[in-house]
Amino acid sequence: MSTQTIENLQADFELLDDWEERYRYVIELGRLLPPLDEKFRIPQYKVSGCASQVWIHAQHNGSVLTFVGDSDALIVKGLIAITFMIFSGKTPAQILALDAQAIFAKLGLKDHLTPQRSNGLASMVARIKADARQVLAA
């Protein structure tokens, strides 16, 4: 999973004929997320603005941030995995400079998610960027 890149994901999406297949692929990405330690399933790590329950924890490893997370909804777990592909392993400055919405649009997610899921995805990105700002301010 950690070797999967957004470029690989985009190429894989292009091989899939329709969005039903892509949704199944996104769900499979979510299944590949490592289990989230119960100590991170607390309000401090819960992402507000998501219809499903979502927890994201940022880990500062040297100069980069990595993320762990989970959701109670399979498709959302897959969206978490995609979000981590974009941001994990980057410095806080790189995270803040990334335009995740443009990447989601390029993948076609913007046009194929419900407004509620799109809002949840935006909330996850906002949380990750807030974590990056917090590390920079420390």
| Positions marked catalytic | 50
d(CA 80, CA 50): 12
| DSSP-based three-state secondary structure for 90 | strand
Angle CA 26–27–32, to nearest 5: 95
Any bridge partners for residue 90, and if so which?
65
| DSSP-based three-state secondary structure for 110 | helix
